[in-house]
């Protein structure tokens, strides 16, 4: 939950400080075999393995650069991303980390802390409101490959949010399978965002009304066919301290996350934005009534946490998303994807999606 943030290339913007940039040569291993038994040297694996521990607030960033293929002027395609990511709190205060995979075209930058020239192809968000280690599996497959060049960056961004709290350790152990490609045929569309419920500050916008929701409109700039949604959703409580809103009470808390395609335009959703370009809170029932009859429901991700007397309501609900649409959904320039955030229960929660879509020609 970043109170003041973000870079342009991500829907949830950040102010990055304390950036560490490392240029590394890829651990670039063959993984495929051709039909004649010889290794297919166009199929390779980039092994990404890093650990960072920080007590610094302000969402510090660590950027690791990889030189692959023939550099930023060469084209490639990412076929899969597998492994684990973990977030360990050394104390009981709330922390979070954003994981980012990006590429650059034209020239590999020595240092691009703002990611202003980057093309982001994967993000996942991970939150932890307890003194524990939370390890998440990553197992994504891209039958419609993601575009990339031979200049790839892997980014950690995050840590503790409150000064004087304990250290946070972020670790990644990932394999990205990729190959050389003639062109960057497919495009990646960012559908991410972050909204706070149960307190009146933080995130991209916030509301204390339990019946409210947020609807984020994303106008599609190019035509194509929507093939896949992928990434992660993290809907988390805070840590129960005075630094944040209260923990949920009752029997259950949770969230709803819904993705729609609106042919033609964003309609009322596009007119419901504040001066910063983020949606205003509106009763969830009213937001749903704004959906036109021809809206296409792309995905629904409900998240629920049962509260019992033996357990605290302090928890993070995080889920990896990989949705292959049953048929290619035709997109025209000007069509609108709307992401609707809702909540269940009471208390304060930080609801965030880091979802991208694959758009094929």
Measured at the CA of 101, the angle between CA 236 and CA 174, to 5 degrees, comes to 85
- The pLDDT tens digits for 186-234 are 999 999 999 999 999 999 999 999 999 999 999 999 999 999 999 999 9
> Do 70 and 26 meet the contact criterion of CB atoms below 8 Å apart?
no
Instruction: Kindly report the backbone phi and psi dihedral angles of residue 338, in degrees, each rounded to the nearest multiple of 5, phi listed first.
Output: -115, 125
Number of other CB atoms surrounding residue 187 within 10 Å? 18
Mean pLDDT of the region 4-10: 34
Task: Express as a percent the part of the chain with pLDDT over 90.
Answer: 80
Does residue 241 surpass a pLDDT of 90?
yes
What's the mean pLDDT in 35-53?
75
Q: For 298-352, what is each residue's pLDDT tens digit?
A: 999 999 999 987 667 899 999 999 999 999 999 999 999 999 999 999 999 999 9
- Nearest Cα residue to 285 out of 248, 340, 205: 340
- Pairwise CA distance, residues 99 & 53, whole Å: 15
State mean pLDDT over 55-81.
93
H/E/C letters for each residue in the chain? Answer: CCCCCCCCCCCCCCCCCCCEEEEEECCEEEEEECCCCCEEEEEEEEEEEEEEEECCCCCCEEEEEEECCCCCCCEEEEEEEEEEEEEEECCCCCEEEEEEEEECCCCCCCCCCCCCCCEEEEEEEEEECCCCEEEEEEEEEEEEEEEEECEEEEEEEEEECCCCCCCEEEEEEEEEEEEECCCCCCEEEECCEEEEECCCCCCCCEECCCCEEEEEEEECCCCEEEEEEEEEEEEEECCCCCCCCCCCCCCEEEEEEEEEEECCCCCHHHHCECCCCCECCEEHHHHHHCCCCCCEEEEECCEEEECCCCCCCCCEEEEEEEEEEEEEEEECCCCEEEEEEEEECCCCEEEEEEEEEEEEC
More confident residue, 137 or 6: 137
Neighbours of 137 (CB within 10 A): 9
């Amino acid at each position: 939950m970043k109170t003041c943030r973000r870079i342009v290339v991500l829907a949830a913007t950040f102010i990055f400080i304390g950036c560490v940039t490392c240029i590394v040569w890829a651990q670039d291993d063959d993984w495929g075999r051709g039909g004649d038994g010889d290794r297919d040297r166009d199929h390779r694996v980039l092994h990404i393995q890093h650990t960072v521990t920080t007590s610094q607030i302000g969402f510090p960033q660590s950027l690791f650069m990889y030189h692959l293929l023939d550099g930023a002027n060469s084209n490639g395609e990412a076929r899969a991303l597998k492994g684990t990511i973990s977030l360990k709190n050394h104390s009981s205060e709330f922390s979070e980390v954003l994981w980012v995979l990006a590429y650059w075209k034209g020239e590999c930058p020595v240092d691009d802390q703002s990611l202003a020239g980057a093309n982001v192809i994967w993000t996942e968000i991970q939150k932890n409101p307890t003194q524990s280690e939370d390890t998440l599996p990553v197992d994504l497959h891209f039958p419609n490959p993601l575009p990339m060049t031979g200049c790839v960056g892997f980014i950690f961004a995050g840590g503790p949010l409150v000064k004087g709290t304990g250290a946070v350790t972020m670790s990644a152990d990932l394999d990205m399978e990729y190959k050389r490609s003639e062109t960057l045929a497919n495009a990646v569309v960012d559908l991410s965002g972050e909204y706070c419920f149960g307190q009146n500050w933080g995130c991209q916008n916030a509301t204390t009304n339990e019946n409210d929701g947020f609807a984020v409109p994303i106008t599609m700039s190019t035509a194509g066919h929507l093939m896949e949604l992928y990434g992660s959703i993290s809907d988390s409580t805070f840590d129960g301290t005075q630094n944040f809103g209260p923990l949920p009470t009752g029997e259950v808390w949770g969230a709803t996350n819904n993705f729609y395609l609106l042919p033609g335009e964003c309609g009322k959703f596009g007119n419901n934005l504040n001066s910063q370009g983020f949606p205003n809170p509106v009763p969830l029932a009213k937001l749903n009534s704004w959906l036109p009859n021809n809206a296409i429901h792309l995905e629904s991700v409900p998240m629920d946490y049962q509260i019992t007397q033996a357990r605290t309501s302090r928890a993070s609900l995080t889920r990896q998303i990989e949705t292959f649409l049953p048929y290619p959904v035709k997109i025209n320039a000007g069509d609108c994807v709307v992401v609707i955030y809702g909540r269940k229960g009471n208390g304060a929660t930080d609801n965030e999606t880091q979802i991208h879509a694959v758009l094929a020609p």
